[in-house]
A and B are shown apart, each in its own frame.
Chain A
Amino acid sequence: MELWVGAISLGLLYAFMTMGVFLTFRIHDFPDITVDGSFTAGAAWCAVLLTAGVHPLAALAAAFAVGLASGWTTAFIHTRFRINGLLSGILVMTALYSINLHVMGRSNIPLLNQETVFTRIALWNPGIHPEGWNALVLSGCLCFFWAALAFFFKTDLGIAMRVTGNNPAMAAANGRSVSGMTLFGVALANGFVGLSGAVVAQYQGFADIGMGIGTVVIGLAAVIIGEAILKGTSMFTRVLGVIVGSILFRFLIAAALFVGMNPIDLKLLTAIFVLLTLVISKSFRPAAKSRSPLVGIGRSRIGKKIAAAAVLLLAAALAGYAVWMHLGGQESKTVQIGVVQLTDNGLLNITRDALVQELGNLGYGPGKKGIIYLENAHGDLATVNTILDKFLQQNVDLVVTISTACTQAAINKIKSKPVVFSTIANPFIIGAGKSETDHLSNVTGVYGWVSMEKMLELSRSFIPGPMTIGAIWDPAQANSVFNVELLRKALQANPEITFQGATITSSAEVYTAAVSLVQKGIRAFVLSPDNLVYSAFDSVVKAAAAARIPIFIADVERLKDGALLAYGYDYTSSGIQAAQMVNRILKGEKPGAIPFERYSRVTIGLNLDVARRYGMNVPEDIRSQATRFIENGKVVSSRPSPNKAPSIGIVQFALEPNVELCKQGIQKALEDKGFTGSRTPEFLFRNAQAEISNISPIVQDMVRRKVDIIVPLSTPCVQAAARFAGGRPDVQVVFTYVYDPYRAGAARTATDHPANVTGVSCFPPIAEMLDLIRTMLPDKNIIGVVWNSSEANSESVLLQIRSHAAQTGQKILEATVTGPSEVLEASRSLALKGAQVFLNSGDNTLNVGFDSFAKVAAENKIPVFSVDSEFIEKGAMAVLGPDYYRTGYDGGLYLARILQGESPAAMPIQQTGATLFLLNLDAARSCGLAIRPEFLKKARKVYGKAGGKSIHE
């Protein structure tokens, strides 16, 4: 319920903004981008006033006024200086970012314990569900605004405004000042937007500097959806359409989340949905005069039917999927844990992965008791709310929030379920509690910040005496400001150190900021945690290296990028501790009784390469405290475990029997080489589900997880691994199950390959195959091959076939196909042209359509040879191809050698020599052929009536 009712509430709150967008885009025909800024401005002022104790309604009025002023400014720039409307909007929006930040004083203001319109509304709740009550009151409110705005459009002023938008020349000729009207209209529109920002802030319980990003697109989408649903020229219909559109838009997002869509796709979905709405609504409007080529389709009866059918199908599919998921969700009576993170940020991902892993250890997760829902808002705060609604809808038992913003939203929204937070610096500033033990009764979690005193102390042991340190931070992030404050406080105890600061607003500015600090003569960079600075850390390194200035940083992950010393939390510990709290709560403990915990693990890391380069001595006591070192570009742990289990990530393109054989071979080889017991490798198996786009994220994820070796199986996986892991110092790549690594671009020759990439290829034994056909069936030398010319692998095989056939005098008949459905006809054409033997060269398209190939062969009594062993019982008479198990085994041997310390750089790429020769007597007989005993003897296995004899290696 919450999900849908929440969507209605959110839709109603955003409807104010949509009405504003309607006013500018539709009434004034003015492309107003100010919206992104004025939305935040409304929220910012509202939040500041609320915390100052102003009445919530007064704060809303102020937000309206602020929006008004923002819009007026845009229109003023546009009308007075004749600057393009779009550009004026961008200018004001950009300026508002800084202004909003100044107004708020920080990037995020929590309103958790403030009185808001919603706490007021709750007082009058006659006893219905709070979210439902909110929606009810809001609908009443919106009804009023709907009537008021629609009425306004019918007044003298409203009519004049609409005329001005519709035909400015006529308005001017009729005594209306176009610029005055534009000023008024754009201001009013942004007033609505500011109001919307303010109510959204009150609803979600905080204002955030980033909450306005993308608002204008949402507004446009809602306007367009509304127009498509409610058609009519009456202003009452049009304004209602805008409100309905806003709600429908939120429903769309809720539905997408409900069916388990990745939020990363939401923007794409929005775009597609809006496009679809536009196209379809055009098709339904017969009078519409448009140059769009689609209208032609839409005008015709059939076009309309198709469009209607498409809409219905889409709706039905979504609804069906939703119901199916819903039923599926209800069947399980196990524990459900919802995990939400704000962005796809390294630290948050580390936390999440550690959390999931530890939950797994504790018995929750896939295949065990309990379901874990992992959601990522991709930086969109409104999406966080919708995700939380979805969790409530799914009736999860517990919500884990990763990052401050998610926690803030969760503790505001969720009152009746436990919330466990993690990876947040300070839970007290967002109102989660007063102290570690005195906190909200349903909330607990893990937090912590790095001690800046310790950080300074560590830097002092490298650079004693008076010195200037430089710090860079983004004043828009609450977290960064908090950490810089800590650093400044720590400095008060060190009068010998002077502080030089530089602030930035985007990662692009980091380099300039760093250079400016270097020019001011700093002796060291001390970088307190800041997402932007850390993400652009390379820029700091670049600026610092030129002047040989050491960098001290609070993130151990950044050590190898060029910091001298890192002192930071181990974010895995955040995830692990949070998982343990989850376990305690699920076992029955009350969250209110579990004190907040600080991260337990800190790490000191030293980059000895940097120390050497800068000629700095590493003091012995620091060396003894550190647990992680970078030496010669490699990560060295101070407590190396020689018998540590290696981790191996295996990525395959799709589920195929041969790949499974290959994987078995890899595992067997490692076992044979002594990787058993405590050294049994930790395998990470990943399957791209036959989608190319899935491969690179899988490989990148493996790199991030720091697997020792990545093993890509099949050509696209090898390409992705070479692209994303090739040349990296921290990971090795050993490929196998690939025909031609050279064509795939993974290497130039067997010995000329990236230093960390090697492997075993398995090009089909073409020469042997052609010889086999020649010796087995000397009177048949016209060979038919069906292949897909757009497959690179097939092409290399065919080149070989052609050149060998030219030597042996065999004639090759080729038929190319573009899909499996064409195989039948292609095979028939080969039979007609007189092919005496059919050869399956291992083409993927042919493999799928092999049955047709075999059928035509059988009809014409043509024997089939295949390089793919799969088909020996499906119509092939003989198979001569790579032995995939042995290929895997060879690959496994390479893995073992690398794990034992050999460098892949010195290991040439190897072509597997192992082949598999299989025969099928039934197939031979049906072609009227007999196989000579010498071949039967050679075959690894003989199928069919006469035999069943199998020969093992």
Chain B
Amino acid sequence: MIEIRDLHKRFNAGTGNECYALCGINLHIRPGEFVTVIGTNGSGKSTLLNAVAGTFSPDQGLIRIDGNDVTLRKEHERAHHIARVFQNPFTGTAAQMTIAENLHMAYLRDKKCFPRLGLTASRMAVYRQEASLLEMKLEDRLSSQIGSLSGGQRQALTLLMAVLTRPKVLLLDEHTAALDPKSAALVIGLTRRFIERDKLTALMVTHSMQQALELGDRTIMMHKGSVIDDIPGAEKRRLTVHDLLDKFNELRKSEQLTEELLSSLRQEYV
């Protein structure tokens, strides 16, 4: 479903604060595969997701979605097939608009906009039905502004919006990082449910070792703009947190991880 070949991106090239964020990524994700991405801060996880979504154009390389070369496509064009949930609950929704309008916006993701009445009675019925899936009683508050919701509710809603049109690809960038543990668990539950329901191809960045191991069919580890490890589903199921730590140790031995990096990984994931 997603095919990335030799992808390079340098930010602020030629200036003092040049940053080589992606250095030759090669990745192939099959349809319906749910991949979790781990790595230290600044390793390029978000940049990778942004490259797939089309927020910027890469310096070199190729991105294919469902067989189509989208490397030169703009973000809003790719959005027809790609849905995203951001780390910040404020980024994924329009605060000054109602829940229904936000859902409608998501509904329009793969459609053209015409000046015809948006929230018709039938659409509202659909949204009420969809919102009830969240079990947050939001179906009764479709006309209230998003700004009045909690972060967890907003993020759950963003997730709902992302899967509303059954996208080909779902990108999740630490989408529970800004939430309290209870809301995070809830959103993770929803994530798993929706992905399984629609058999979505998904790429999820996480900083939680637990999530990385429990969720998905495959885990990739990133470091300094490259994929340094790729753990297939079969191996993953056997792994425990300790195994993963051993893996880090192995990596260290092969000199790919320094001591301090290791300790920072331990801190983060354990």
Contacts and interface: CB of A to CB of B under 8 A. Distances in A.
A151 B145 CA distance: 19
A166 B118 contact: no
Interface in B115-141: 115-119
A323 interface: no
A157 B114 contact: yes
B95 interface: yes
B91 A169 contact: yes
B5 interface: no
A233 interface: yes
B91 A175 contact: no
A178 B76 contact: yes
B94 interface: yes
Given A160-B105, A162-B96, A170-B93, 7 more contacts: A151-B117, A156-B116, A159-B105, A169-B91, A170-B91, A171-B94, A172-B76
Contact of A173 (B53, B110, B118): B53
Contacts of A156: 104, 108, 111, 113-116, 118
Interface in B77-102: 77, 79-80, 83-84, 86, 91-97, 101-102
A916 interface: no
A166 B92 CA distance: 11
A177 B76 contact: yes
A162 B94 CA distance: 9
A144 interface: no
Contacts of B111: 156, 175
B84 A176 contact: no
Contact of A154 (B93, B119, B145): B119
Contact of B94 (A152, A154, A163): A163
A360 interface: no
B175 interface: no
16 contacts: A154-B117, A155-B114, A155-B115, A155-B117, A156-B104, A156-B113, A156-B116, A159-B119, A162-B97, A163-B94, A166-B94, A170-B92, A170-B93, A170-B94, A174-B108, A175-B76
Interface in B22-55: 53, 55
In the complex, which of the residues A166, A173, A176 has the most CB atoms of chain B within 10 Å of its own CB atom?
A173
Pick the most buried of B55, B79, B94, B111: most chain A CB atoms within 10 A of its CB. Answer: B94
A823 to B, nearest CB: 58
- Nearest 7 interchain pairs by C-beta: A175-B79, A166-B94, A175-B109, A167-B94, A155-B115, A157-B113, A156-B113
Chain B, interface size category, equals 35 or more
A176 B76 contact: yes
A169 B74 CA distance: 13
B75 interface: yes
B106 interface: yes
Interface in A130-160: 151-152, 154-160
Nearest to B90: A167
A160 B95 contact: no
B95 A174 contact: no
A81 B267 CA distance: 45
Contacts, number: 96
A174 B79 contact: yes
A172 B75 contact: yes
A68 to B, nearest CB: 16
A167 B76 contact: no
Contacts of A173: 53, 75, 79, 83-84, 86, 92
Contacts of B97: 159, 162-163, 166
Nearest to B83: A173
Given A156-B113, A160-B108, A175 B118 contact: no
Contacts of B84: 173
B265 to A, nearest CB: 30
Interface of A: 151-152, 154-160, 162-163, 166-167, 169-178, 233
Interface of B: 53, 55, 74-77, 79-80, 83-84, 86, 91-97, 101-102, 104-106, 108-111, 113-119, 145, 161
A169 B84 CA distance: 11
A152 B115 contact: yes
Nearest to B81: A175
A158 B80 contact: no
A174 B109 contact: yes
A158 B94 CA distance: 14
Nearest to B55: A172
B136 to A, nearest CB: 20
Contacts of B80: 175
Contact of B105 (A152, A154, A171, A233): A171
Contacts of A178: 76
A176 B109 CA distance: 7
A174 B115 contact: no
Contacts of B101: 159, 162-163
Given A154-B118, A172-B79, A177 B74 contact: yes
A79 B120 CA distance: 33
B104 A159 contact: yes
Contacts of B102: 163
Contacts of A170: 91-94, 105
Contacts of B115: 152, 155-158
Nearest to A176: B76
A274 to B, nearest CB: 22
Contacts of B119: 154, 159
A160 B94 contact: no
Contacts of B93: 167, 170
A178 B54 CA distance: 14
Q: Which of B76, B105, B110 lies at the interface centre, i.e. has the most chain A CB atoms within 10 A of its CB?
A: B105
B110 to A, nearest CB: 6
A908 B98 CA distance: 81
B94 A155 contact: no
Contacts of A175: 76-77, 79-80, 108-111
A155 B118 contact: yes
Contacts of B77: 175
A24 B84 CA distance: 28
Nearest to B164: A174
Residue of B55, B84, B96, B104 with highest tally of chain A CB at under 10 A: B96
A330 to B, nearest CB: 50
Given A152-B115, A155-B115, A157-B113, A163 B79 contact: no
Contacts of A158: 115, 118
A755 to B, nearest CB: 63
A636 B97 CA distance: 76
Contacts of B53: 173
Contacts of A166: 94-97
A159 B127 CA distance: 16
Contacts of B79: 172-176
B210 to A, nearest CB: 27
A155 B116 contact: yes
Contacts of A160: 105, 108, 113
B145 A176 contact: no
Given A160-B105, A172-B75, A173-B84, A167 B117 contact: no
A169 B173 CA distance: 14
A233 B110 contact: no
A154 B120 CA distance: 10
A178 B104 CA distance: 17
A174 B97 CA distance: 15
A176 B117 CA distance: 18
B202 to A, nearest CB: 15
B178 to A, nearest CB: 15
A162 B96 CA distance: 9
A233 B94 contact: no
Contact of A176 (B55, B86, B96, B113): B113
Contacts of A171: 76, 94, 105
